[in-house]
Each structure stands twice: as structure tokens, then as C-alpha cells.
Amino acid sequence: MKTFLIEKPEAFSFGETKMPELNAGEVLLKIERVGLCGGDLTMFRGLNPMVTYPRIPGHEIAATIAEVSAGVPAHLQPGLLVTVVPYTTCGKCPSCRAKRPNACQFNQTLGIQRDGALTEFVAVPWQKILWSPKLTAPDYALVEPLSVGFHAVERGRVTAADTVAVFGAGMIGLGAIAGAALRKKARVIAIDLDDQKLALAKKAGAAEVINSKTENLHERLQQLTNGEGPSVVIEAVGAAETFVAAVNEVCFTGRVVYIGYAKKPVAYETKFFVMKELDVLGSRNALPEDFENVIRVLESGLYPVAETVTRLVPFAQAGAALQDWSANPNTTTKIHVNLH
Ligand SMILES: [Zn+2]
Ligand SMILES: [Zn+2]
């Protein structure tokens, strides 16, 4: 079967690999559509320390069940369009014991630490399959990236009473915006440097937007929150400035949730941690229930799926699309690869 491979940084190829063997309890999936994400881009650029090469990328999946093995529940039938939870859990580490397997110490995400879905068929344990009668292939391929933002909203214990500032309106920020606004009915302020991304943030549920390139971030946030600051700040950029601004701008006794990774050490005014008695939280990947919550929102039709997918490319263009994205990183929210 035809397979896309990142051979080493900046080098890709298409090759022939063997069809996966189907073990008991597994489902054979025919891949329909795969989303490329920031993690795939960093892998392509050689900047992802978790990756070894060569690697088949792909963990944002829409697929059709091609075959089921013994032990798979009857509701999972060939022909069904589904998505996949691409993480593994060891069951033994502190995170797994605390029922927080999204942060498993030994997690191996499909397409990052093990081979992924940019190929014709993959076999996965049936427990990793999620299904809805209402979702289409474009919806399914957005479930995983949106769930990462939804998880951050859970970490921040967001309710309808909160004003949530989301730094960054890229794919992960959009998940946080939609999770807070569409699911929790919180008031969301989206912050980005790009007006086009902010327009999409509004469609994803943001009540207000701030372009921090052209507007004074602190003044605008104060204006919009009666001088208090937002009760929750979710950082989905991964820059030193936004890591610091999150702590500086959040209200007293607020919650700060970090999804991004800053690429270098960050210096803080630590008095705010104590003075404001802040909850500073990390958020990694997502739980199966976050995936389910995303599916419920996508079923409602409120999330702007078509506008989120910047480009749809055929399988043969997957490598070229990564090259383009690498050359123009700021103009793309999401690339989908159509396998047929
Ligand atoms: Zn992803
Ligand atoms: Zn674990």
C-alpha cells in the first residue's frame, strides 16, 4: 500500500509498505482524510525532539472501517466512518494511576513516536475508535486538534460565569475558544496578531477579539473586564511574551492554562503567582471524554469546519503541502490530506 514517509528533516518520499496484520480486538481502517498539524510541521523541520526518523506522520484521522477482527463489538461494522484517539497509555505511571492518561509519561502518539495514518490502511484497537452518525470526514479529521483546546478548557474549570482570554487563534486556540464559548457558554476574548485568524475566532464563538499587534493588549483587556482582567487565560501560542502576559493579565485568583511550549526559558514577575493566588496549569493532549465533547459540538453544526480547513490537498501533494507550510507558517490554520 502507498505510504508517505518523512525520511529525515526536510526530506520526504512515497513508498510501498505492507498491509497491516489484524490482531484480535483490532479494527482495520481505510484512511479517508488526515489533518497535518503543527507537530507534523516541527517533525518535518527536524525540531521535534520526540521524533525518530524515518516516520509516517498523521494522527488527525477520518477513516472507514474496512474489516473487524474477533472480539470487536457489533456496533463497529465495516463501512462506518470513524475517528481515532491516537494516544497510548501505559496504565502504570503516575498520570495513568491518577486517571489522567492524556498525560501518560510513556504516551506514544500515532504519527509522532510511532508510525501514523498517512498511508492507505492502519490497524488500531477497537477501544480507540469513536463514531457519530452525524459527522463527515472533514469533521472527524478536526476532532483531535479541537480536543486539545477542549481539554485546556476543562483544566481551567471554565464555566458560563467566566471571561476567558485565549492567546493565539491558530488551530489549538480555536479549540480552546470553541470549548469555552460553544460548549461552556463562557464569554471569550480571542487574541492574535492576524485579523483573518481573529475573524475565524469570532465564527468559533469569541465574543470579542484583540489584535495585539495594532491594539494595546493590557488596556483592551482591562476595558473589556471592568478593570479586573479575565478570570481564565489560556495560552496557545508558545512564546515567552504570551507566557508572561497570561500571568500578568489574569484577574486575582484567576486560572492560567498553558498548552504551548515556550522555546526558551521564560522570566516571570513571580509576585503575581502569590499576590493573585493563581492556579497555573499545564494541559497536554486530551482525554477520550474531550474527544466526545468535541463530537457533540461538531454534531450541533455550530463550529465553522469549512472555514478552519485552509487547504485540502490530494495524497500525492502531502509533502509539497508541508514544504509550502514550512515556507509560509502563518497563513495556514489547517491542511487536510485527502487520501482518495
Ligand atoms: Zn495534531
Ligand atoms: Zn502512563
pLDDT of residue 263: 80
Cα of 39 vs centre of ligand 1, distance in Å, is 6
Alpha-carbon distance of 322 to 12, in angstroms, equals 10
Nearest to 209 by CA among 160, 172, 249, 169: 169
Cα of 256 vs centre of ligand 1, distance in Å, is 22
Query: Which cell numbers in the block locate residue 324?
Result: 509550502
CATH number of 147-282: 3.40.50.720
Cα of 259 vs centre of ligand 1, distance in Å, is 13
Closest-lying ligand to the alpha carbon of 106?
2
Closest-lying ligand to the alpha carbon of 90?
2
pLDDT tens, per residue, the chain with 340 residues: 999 999 999 999 999 999 999 999 999 999 999 999 988 999 999 988 888 899 999 999 999 999 999 999 999 999 999 999 999 999 999 999 999 999 999 999 999 899 999 999 999 999 999 999 999 999 999 999 999 999 999 999 999 999 999 999 999 999 999 999 999 999 999 999 999 999 999 999 999 999 999 999 999 999 999 999 999 999 999 999 999 999 999 999 999 999 988 888 999 999 999 999 999 999 999 999 999 999 999 999 999 999 999 999 999 999 999 999 999 888 899 999 999 8
pLDDT of residue 232: 98
Alpha-carbon distance of 22 to 69, in angstroms, equals 7
Residue 288 burial by CB count (10 A; 0-12/13-18/19+): exposed, middle or buried?
middle
Alpha-carbon distance of 36 to 30, in angstroms, equals 18
Chain position carrying cell 498553558: 258
Residue 332 burial by CB count (10 A; 0-12/13-18/19+): exposed, middle or buried?
middle
Closest-lying ligand to the alpha carbon of 145?
1
Closest-lying ligand to the alpha carbon of 104?
2
Closest-lying ligand to the alpha carbon of 89?
2
Cα of 326 vs centre of ligand 1, distance in Å, is 16
Cα of 282 vs centre of ligand 1, distance in Å, is 17
Nearest to 217 by CA among 204, 198, 202, 200: 198
pLDDT of residue 51: 87
Closest-lying ligand to the alpha carbon of 96?
2
- Domain spans, the chain: 2-131+310-338, 147-282
Cα of 260 vs centre of ligand 1, distance in Å, is 13
Cα of 279 vs centre of ligand 2, distance in Å, is 24
Distances (CA, A) of 305 to 153, 178, 209, 228: 20, 11, 20, 34
Residue 24 burial by CB count (10 A; 0-12/13-18/19+): exposed, middle or buried?
exposed
Alpha-carbon distance of 243 to 240, in angstroms, equals 5
Nearest to 302 by CA among 140, 139, 84: 139
**Do residues 279 and 251 make contact, with C-beta atoms less than 8 angstroms apart?**
no
Cα of 107 vs centre of ligand 2, distance in Å, is 7
Closest-lying ligand to the alpha carbon of 39?
1
pLDDT of residue 329: 83
**3-class DSSP string for the chain:** CEEEEEEECCEEEEEECCCCCCCCCEEEEEEEEEEECHHHHHHHHCCCCCCCCCECCCCEEEEEEEEECCCCCCCCCCCCEEEECCCCCCCCCHHHHCCCHHHCCCCCCECCCECCCCECEEEEEHHHEECCCCCCHHHHHHHHHHHHHHHHHHHCCCCCCCEEEEECCCHHHHHHHHHHHHHCCCEEEEEECCHHHHHHHHHCCCCEEEECCCCCHHHHHHHHCCCCCCCEEEECCCCHHHHHHHHHHCCCCCEEEECCCCCCCCCCCCHHHHHCCCEEEECCCCCHHHHHHHHHHHHHCCCCHHHHCCEEEEHHHHHHHHHHHHHCCCCCCCEEEECC
Closest-lying ligand to the alpha carbon of 57?
1
Cα of 220 vs centre of ligand 1, distance in Å, is 31
CATH number of 2-131+310-338: 3.90.180.10
pLDDT of residue 330: 81
Cα of 97 vs centre of ligand 2, distance in Å, is 7
Alpha-carbon distance of 242 to 246, in angstroms, equals 6
Cα of 332 vs centre of ligand 1, distance in Å, is 14
Closest-lying ligand to the alpha carbon of 102?
2
Determine if the peptide bond prior to 73 is cis (ω within 30°).
no
